[in-house]
Structure 1
Amino acid sequence: MILTALNDYYQRLADDDKVPLPGFSSEKVSFCLIFSQEGKPLQIDDLRDTTGKKPRPSSCQVPVDKRRTSGIHAYPLWDKTAYALGFSDGEGKRLVDEHEAFTARQFALFGESDDPDLMAFLRLLDQWRPEQLVELPGYSEEVLDTNVIFRLDGQRQYLHENREACRLWGAALESSEGESGQCLITGKIAPLGTDHPAIRGVRDAQSSGASLVSFNSDAYESYGYSKNQNASISKAAIFGYSTGLNHLLRGDADNRQRLQIGDATVVFWAKARDTAHAEAAEGFFAMLNEPPSDEQEAAKLGTLLAQVAEGRPLAELDPMLEPATQFFVLGLAPNAARLSVRFWHIDSLENLAQHYAHHHQDMSLEPSPWKGMTPGTWRLALQTAPIHGDRAKAEDLLPQLAGELMRSILTGSRYPRSLLTNIVMRFRNDGKISGIRVALCKAVLAREARHAVHSNSTTQEVPVGLDPHSTHPGYLLGRLFAELENAQRGALGNEVNATIRDRYYGAASATPASVFPMLLRNVQHHLSNMRKKDKGGLAHKIEGEIGSIIDGLGDRFPRSFRIEDQGRFAIGYYHQSQARFAKKDSAAKNAEDEQGESE
């Protein structure tokens, strides 16, 4: 199914002239050798992109018939310098053999042609001496071991773009077609292929590419077939799926169909009635996973998702987003010389939009820790990693957790339970009780409640904002802990080296009975200290808040909390702490308004 969808995507790209035709491949080319009609080499042209800090090879569609492995195999009308020019950092018999193989293949393919450009090229090869390279204008050591193409002096097109060369190359491919059979992808009887091109662009995979389809052991073979003959796929379909996937994985700055989630490189594409609607769906999905940095645009997207969650049809919100558009999401991870499929998901655009809307709803928290739109999946996954300095490191992220999180968002299923466990562990280890981490706790608990097996479940709803009526012990004790910390800050100000959160948060959230009695005794000293410093009003407010929270608790503190209760504790702590700041902001705003009116 994956290969079929990728092959269909290739057909769409091919119809729009965005990918090479069969027998060609987009390869990185750095230099071009220019030669005369007499076959004399004239100069080396640098084709690299120099707009960045470091020159980068340009992408060219060049003839390719199969993937080169450890053996010697030359390509038509282009290759790396060892093959095409017989010049490399290395030396020895292999270098000679590679250049001889390149020359022999060009004569075998084009030796009978009377095309003047091809005849000039063959004269160049016949007269070429590798040591000539260093004498040419434009030569530098940067040329060595790069891919080079050729151009006849006075021509605008490169030699591999020559019409006669392309015709001869196509004829050669047809004559080399082997055994025919039924293709597993298209279902048609066609020449079968055995060589699957390398897939490039998956992070941490081999730089030369890795295989998505391969058989490297007898244990995976059957019915007497060897290696890739076990995958009965036509040459055309092999070219289609591999070209489509490599296009999705390309490293261009404008590629918005590729995401990195943990160790999984994620690509996505759509199948709609025309290219315009498919691209609109792909752009919409890209924004869902990497929200726009502009606050207004992010807010618009958040509003759209809220309307989807309320049941409004997607097509009413944007006519280009057709609900029936089929959507594909593929997550790939490196596995030695091969690729592992982390996840594969197919759904309609309408269902995906609803799932993301529910995710946006589950993550909602007041006050919001972000502006506009829920952060992307990658940023959410990073919250489970330890904080080093001001930020988490990607290498500390559990790769499977990131993939499970992405899958739960795509399918609308429960978030991974390990997500809540890891977040709570981070609270206790690094003390970073950030809004985005609290929102993740709230999302896991809210979705668990919604997916509860028993419809008559008595589990309390997880509040979005401060809920003074909640009687959940975890939530109440989180609020109480925030007020105790507020009392400490009110009494000691900025002179305190470590607050009670720094010292007691872990114990308070996991084993309340062991900590809260002591904290409640100490708070009386803080309240008394505030009254002595003419902060009697503040002390009275805090004391009243503490009293109202304690009234909602039972006769004794719980001895221990489950991981879910610890999540509620964090939510209560966040709500109570942020409510204090909100009151300060509101008071400051009212004072400014009153001053403005008096003026």
Structure 2
Amino acid sequence: MSVLASLVRAYDRLPDAPPFGFSPEKVGAVVTLRPDGSVVAVTDWRTEGKKRQPRPMLVPRPVKRTVAIAPNFLWDKTAYALGLTAGAGKRTAEEHAAFKARHAEWLTGTEDEGLRAFLIFLDGWTPDPSALLGWSDELLDLNVAFALGQEFLHDRPAAREAWRIAQGEGVKDAQACLASGEVGPVARLHPAIRGVWGAQSSGASLVSFNLDSFTSYGHEQGDNAPISEASAFAYAAALNHYLRTGSQNRVQIGDASVAFWADAEDRAAGQEAESIFAGFLAEPIKAGAAEDAAQAKLVADKLTRIRRGEPLAEVEPKLAEGVRFHVLGLAPNAARLSVRFAWESSFGALTAHYQRFQADMAIEPPARTPHPPLWQFLRELAVQGKSENVPPKLAGEWLRAILAGTRYPATLLTAVLMRTRADQEMNALRAAIIRAVLVRNFEKEVPVSLDEDNPSPAYQLGRLFAVLEGAQYAALGRVNAPIGDRYYAAASSTPARVFAPLLRGLKVHVADARKRGRGGWIEPRVAEIMDRLPPDLPRALRLEDQGRFAIGYYHEKARRPAKAEEETVIEDVQEGTP
């Protein structure tokens, strides 16, 4: 099933889906009229509080504007609807004139009391804020809707019928829709998609043909890929619903805004699958009300069992079969949206791939946060640990590999090793990423916890470097330029050149450590590691061996000398034993 087809199906399952031709838009003010077209008052529709914001209102969907002047139906920003703007307003008079002229065409011959009042208002209105009771200059350039009494004009049956007719203007002959298969008028332009991080705030197109190079066989715009007006509205409404602020069906992964939804006959099962998947990538969904607490705990318990590796068929049989799951990653690309990835499969397959990812990322000692969300791992690849600095495309490629159970992107290992060298820091998150790439891409056996008998020279060299670093600390305490900061990059790539001088300086550090009653563990540990290394150290390490070096370094650095060892060393020193 295509992405658009699945979104059209998802629209029918939305509990609060807007009706065809309508969309939730942010409105700042409502102008209430009398039947004679005079203004009763202006109501500030914004939220309460210090920083008041326009509130969503279900209104006729907006037109797509470029440089042309095009008014909306029965609502618009103040420049169009009232001829008022906060700026210079070079086109304000033209915009307001177009608003009046188009509504005179759309509503001609209407007998509805509210629509007639609106036409009378427009005919006699001259842009004058003083004529609007309750007006505030803070409302300038916000969207304005109109009402007669307590009813919004766009909600009146006559207005909805007029809007239905207006939407058919310019629509070409009916064709079979590629998304639904039904025959209907083809959408020339598709609705804008909002909520994608980095894209235009007014929205961007997911489907558009605006250059000759995009077209074929003489078709224009939407005729190149015929999607009906109804399907175009449905897929856009569903996707905007999933991408809206505060949505539980979206997560930001690097530069990709990821929307996800389940396709299931059982709506409750679909919602449960979506809640569990949200826990896979980010924080588990929290209960918003007391009555939801039990359901949230139930989802959290199932998520825990899945992470322990239990088959989904045992955790929740109804989710293992009969639930198709869709994940769509979008990124900004000028006036369009770029599809980073689109993935579809059964929720059972998705869960199995997630469990494999969890196994790949296993490392001891683990991170402080159990099962860190994916964005936390991605920040380990970014300069200064900032999400906006995550390497472009890498986040989407990694997530796609996790979902599909395929090889991780080749650049993932390079990125984490580069950040480790630049930051002079190896932590549990970075060690987990390195281990995951080695296990899946290179099909290597990589230990989860410290493996003293590991046959890999690179792993043992990483251990040895951590011991040498610990010896310096035992001898001198904290110093401004420890060997980890100065030599890690060279030691992990060209060990033969670096380890010889470091081992020569080890004797001095051991002697200084003994004077402080510390370091009795150093020489035995070094001897144990050296026994597992070849006589001639490698001159250079391949990329995957640099990853093994990092894992060995992390494991050994996380190991702490036993307290008994330190006490024995102190007694030996006090007794003068060498």
Whether TM exceeds 0.5 here: the answer is: yes
Amino acid at match of 1:81: T
Q: Deviations over 1:389-426 (max 9, x none)?
A: xxx12333211211111111111111112111111112
Give the one of 359, 363, 379 matched to 1:365: 363
**SS at structure 2 position matched to 1:193:** coil
**SS at structure 2 position matched to 1:339:** strand
Give the one of 60, 75, 78 matched to 1:78: 75
Q: Deviations over 1:43-62 (max 9, x none)?
A: 211111235x5222211111
Give the one of 340, 343, 352 matched to 2:350: 352
Which residue is equivalent to 2:542? 562
Q: Deviations over 1:332-375 (max 9, x none)?
A: 111111111111111111111111111111111111113321x2
CA gap 1:229/1:66 in 2 versus in 1, 3 angstroms = farther
Q: C-alpha distance in 1, partners of 2:161/2:44?
A: 28
* Aligned 8 A contact 2:275 2:299 in 1: no
Q: Which runs of 5+ in 2 are unaligned?
A: 287-296, 568-578
* Aligned 8 A contact 2:275 2:284 in 1: no
How far did residue 321 of structure 1 move? 3.0
* Aligned 8 A contact 1:355 1:409 in 2: yes
Query: How high is the sequence identity, in percent, across the aligned residues?
Result: 45
Give the one of 85, 88, 108 matched to 2:85: 88
The reply to whether residue 151 of structure 1 matches residue 131 of structure 2 is no
Which residue is equivalent to 1:217? 211
* Aligned 8 A contact 1:299 1:372 in 2: no
The reply to whether residue 114 of structure 1 matches residue 111 of structure 2 is yes
**SS at structure 1 position matched to 2:41:** strand
Q: C-alpha distance in 1, partners of 2:388/2:193?
A: 23
The reply to whether residue 48 of structure 1 matches residue 32 of structure 2 is no
Which residue is equivalent to 1:180? 174
Q: C-alpha distance in 2, partners of 1:477/1:65?
A: 64
Which residue is equivalent to 2:402? 409
CA gap 1:338/1:547 in 2 versus in 1, 3 angstroms = same
How far did residue 116 of structure 1 move? 2.5
Which residue is equivalent to 1:595? none
How far did residue 302 of structure 1 move? 6.5
Give the one of 571, 582, 585 matched to 2:551: 571
Q: C-alpha distance in 1, partners of 2:365/2:285?
A: 19
The reply to whether residue 19 of structure 1 matches residue 2 of structure 2 is no
* Aligned 8 A contact 1:314 1:323 in 2: no
Q: C-alpha distance in 2, partners of 1:186/1:2?
A: 11
Amino acid at match of 2:83: G
CA gap 1:421/1:175 in 2 versus in 1, 3 angstroms = closer
Q: Deviations over 1:249-302 (max 9, x none)?
A: 212x2x1211222222111111011221111111111111003499x9999566
Amino acid at match of 2:556: Q
**SS at structure 1 position matched to 2:186:** strand
CA gap 1:508/1:328 in 2 versus in 1, 3 angstroms = same
Q: Deviations over 1:461-482 (max 9, x none)?
A: 2000111111210111111111
How far did residue 324 of structure 1 move? 3.2
CA gap 1:23/1:141 in 2 versus in 1, 3 angstroms = same
Q: C-alpha distance in 2, partners of 1:521/1:196?
A: 71
Which residue is equivalent to 1:275? 267
Which residue is equivalent to 2:392? 399
How far did residue 164 of structure 1 move? 2.8
Which residue is equivalent to 1:7? 8
CA gap 1:585/1:226 in 2 versus in 1, 3 angstroms = farther
**SS at structure 1 position matched to 2:326:** strand
* Aligned 8 A contact 1:305 1:360 in 2: no
Give the one of 255, 260, 275 matched to 2:252: 260
Which residue is equivalent to 2:523? 543
Amino acid at match of 1:412: G
Q: C-alpha distance in 2, partners of 1:463/1:271?
A: 39
Amino acid at match of 1:403: G
How far did residue 443 of structure 1 move? 0.9
How far did residue 326 of structure 1 move? 0.5
Pairs aligned (count): 556
Q: C-alpha distance in 2, partners of 1:187/1:32?
A: 40
Give the one of 432, 435, 451 matched to 1:467: 451
Which residue is equivalent to 1:481? 465
CA gap 1:201/1:585 in 2 versus in 1, 3 angstroms = farther
CA gap 1:385/1:91 in 2 versus in 1, 3 angstroms = closer
The farther-off stretch of 92-101 and 412-421 is 92-101
**SS at structure 1 position matched to 2:257:** strand
**SS at structure 2 position matched to 1:333:** strand
TM-score, scaled relative to structure 2 = 0.90
The reply to whether residue 200 of structure 1 matches residue 194 of structure 2 is yes
* Aligned 8 A contact 1:298 1:372 in 2: no
Amino acid at match of 1:519: L
CA RMSD of aligned residues (A): 2.5
Q: C-alpha distance in 1, partners of 2:235/2:363?
A: 42
Amino acid at match of 1:305: I
How far did residue 109 of structure 1 move? 3.3
Q: Deviations over 1:129-173 (max 9, x none)?
A: 211x234232222211111001223x2x31211223223333444
Which residue is equivalent to 2:226? 232
Q: Deviations over 1:181-222 (max 9, x none)?
A: 121112222112202111111111122221111112212222
CA gap 1:436/1:42 in 2 versus in 1, 3 angstroms = same
Which residue is equivalent to 2:135? 139
Q: Which runs of 5+ in 1 are unaligned?
A: 451-458, 589-599
How far did residue 228 of structure 1 move? 2.5
How far did residue 65 of structure 1 move? 6.9
The farther-off stretch of 339-348 and 74-83 is 74-83
**SS at structure 1 position matched to 2:319:** coil
Q: C-alpha distance in 2, partners of 1:71/1:302?
A: 51
* Aligned 8 A contact 2:272 2:299 in 1: no
